[in-house]
Structure 1
């Protein structure tokens, strides 16, 4: 996504060789598209909270009031209800005085698409950035799916879900709840491993993801469990529970 699509669609890519300098890189390049694993968003949230904590009391109070009003706005939008006039006025004032300058300082004021994926994102992180005016579109997929199968469409984001299937992609649930995917994004197979490929992709062309999910009436997917042993942490790292248990045992230590 970072190299092939950029080459074909004309994106400009900024590489940051040191993850600890990400905040400075964001402020310098001001990306229009930003995709990160949940742990990166968690660290950005912590950085904002640390800056606010070190600010004068007047700014802290203004920030808290703005975030409170905009969190109410986000909850109203998600529920499909109207925001009361008093809260709407507070939200407008906080947006101009606090939140817009803060987004510019973060370097995300120009970000039109803000994606998060590779692991579940905690709801407090979703709500924090949504209130800040940086609502994240959570995606779901795997390397075998090139790699995204579902995403939250701009303007129709449901926090806590992985969104709907991409155009031309079919997502359904097996009897045991496993998420199955069929479409042009499904891999042709594991290199020189036909038996493993046959286990992953059935005769109907559905990729068996190993994730267990539910799909609501509007087609939004939510991952609720893991069928296969492999799990992914908030940093996007694949981990085997068996290996983790082994490493943490007294004998292993």
Structure 2
């Protein structure tokens, strides 16, 4: 048996046990950094730190407070909050109390939040602030099992006349209550941790889903213990790393990162405010971070827009440097595949050195100057954007997994990463491709099933443990996986041709720097069309240089010059597609697609049916009386 197999197979029964081991091993080492926001207009945020020992003191106090509230093994405790240090502390507190965390996105409306709280049977809700508390109050009559609400930020929170006694308390009060409980029962939390079994429910994550009600995915402690050991076994993270964590912790991608951190013991700087990412990176100076493709797309388009705004000469330099970057990355990866060494032809290396001084070095500084690697997941990243960053020295390691597989089933292996693939399976995870191209997974990271939905579980989870992912993929001879599309998203035209819309959409993102989102349509039609949402700041910047300055966004969208601009990029896209894949018509959307309007899931995946419903009139317009030329 290899050292890696031994490491993974001898995993402890719970992350709570892993956490106690980490605290015992490095109590004084830094565990977390978090911002204390400065008053408006009074300078930058102040960042504070917690050692592992200080973290444990708060976690155990929260755990004991929950025990005092009567939380028993596997009792659900819901977390309705944005990503912040208290989310991590509360989640660890729930696990150390033997409970199970139910995650709820802060963007979830009151109706859906109440559905998740009721369906999960959550007994306690830990809510971020007054606005999240209001969601529970609004639907309290339908939540008879919800015995307590704990509020993290008590600003503006007041008890209501109809609040049951003891129903509302602050996180500070819960911790104080827990500290008092531990004085009377000093071994209580330790005993609860010791009683946790590997098959005990640890987390209930509700998939946001692109259609219908969300389903609760049951993930036991063993899933997270396995993930912790398997991530460590890849060697991608070390104890000396500094992670910048902004991803929503209600999502499985954000959640899995904490397991790896606990096993390895590195520092995590946590701040879920997306509008602070650019400001925080030079302060945190992370060595690695995880993100979703949308962020890399925005950075790429932002850099291109800034270069364009600097005038024709500066934009020409950027375009040249971008081309060199892609050429360099492709050559370096191809050579590594053949020889195991990163090297490129001398002339290309010389060009790259010049481009680095002019463009790439500034880009790396914007990421904090120390970024060794960035992990991208949740959706596919355009290979052309991936190659651009790779050649610029920002190595994006794409990974793959589902909520149902505890997030991290595949990841690209360090220096041997291959842009355009999601890498190799984690140690201990099996993969095979079904006859119809669907990716099947099996291993210790696979869920127990959907909460209270045995029929839905049977649809995706085979009796022998294989999970049907719903994704179509290709596996290389040496084990690298490439995801080509979602099985249910494949388009079959009325001419009988199958089209993978995601592949076309990803290509367009690499071609059009003005693009924010795109949806390719064509199911049961005789040609393909597209709904296109443009990036407002980038478009308005262009408008100012093309005689459209001072006009509103809607006026710029309606201008013939804008249509002509986008048509040029569509023509470039079509030049690289098969005839039946080409976009014959498109419509520009009046606004961007976003979570608030229900167009995207909280992890920024397209809700295709929702977008098609809302903009049905534009789709009908494109096909009305039209014939394929």
State if a TM-score over 0.5 links the two structures: yes
Q: Aligned residue for 1:103?
A: 364
Q: Distance in 1 between matches of 2:480 and 2:404?
A: 21
Q: Distance in 2 between matches of 1:19 and 1:220?
A: 32
- Contact kept? 2:441, 2:469, Cα under 8 Å: yes
SS in 2 for 1:23: helix
Q: Aligned residue for 1:117?
A: 377
Residues 1:89 and 2:456 are matched in the alignment: no
Deviations 1:160-211 (A, max 9, x none): 1111111111011111111000001101122222222222210110111001
Q: Distance in 1 between matches of 2:333 and 2:611?
A: 38
**Offset of residue 89 of structure 1:** 1.8
> Cα 1:191–1:117, aligned 2, differ >3 Å: closer, same or farther?
same
Q: Distance in 2 between matches of 1:137 and 1:71?
A: 16
Residues 1:245 and 2:612 are matched in the alignment: yes
Q: Aligned residue for 2:458?
A: 198
Deviations 1:191-232 (A, max 9, x none): 222222222210110111001111111111111222236999
SS in 2 for 1:205: coil
> Cα 1:119–1:234, aligned 2, differ >3 Å: closer, same or farther?
farther
> Cα 1:86–1:3, aligned 2, differ >3 Å: closer, same or farther?
closer
Q: Distance in 2 between matches of 1:12 and 1:107?
A: 17
Deviations 1:53-104 (A, max 9, x none): 3458876666555444333221212333863322222223433564234311
TM-score between the two structures when normalised by the length of structure 2: 0.36
Residues 1:225 and 2:485 are matched in the alignment: yes
Further displaced range: 53-62 or 150-159: 53-62
**Offset of residue 159 of structure 1:** 1.2
Aligned equivalent of 1:165, options 425, 429, 435: 425
Q: Aligned residue for 1:146?
A: 406
Q: Distance in 2 between matches of 1:16 and 1:52?
A: 29
Q: CA RMSD in A?
A: 2.9
Where does structure 2 lack aligned partners over 5 or more consecutive residues?
1-255, 491-501, 503-598, 618-629
Q: Aligned residue for 1:76?
A: 331
> Cα 1:51–1:28, aligned 2, differ >3 Å: closer, same or farther?
farther
> Cα 1:239–1:91, aligned 2, differ >3 Å: closer, same or farther?
closer
Residues 1:12 and 2:267 are matched in the alignment: yes
**Offset of residue 134 of structure 1:** 0.8
Further displaced range: 7-16 or 188-197: 7-16
Where does structure 1 lack aligned partners over 5 or more consecutive residues?
none
SS in 2 for 1:91: helix
Higher Cα Rg: structure 1 or 2? 2
TM-score between the two structures when normalised by the length of structure 1: 0.85
> Cα 1:108–1:25, aligned 2, differ >3 Å: closer, same or farther?
same
**Offset of residue 246 of structure 1:** 2.6
**Offset of residue 241 of structure 1:** 3.5
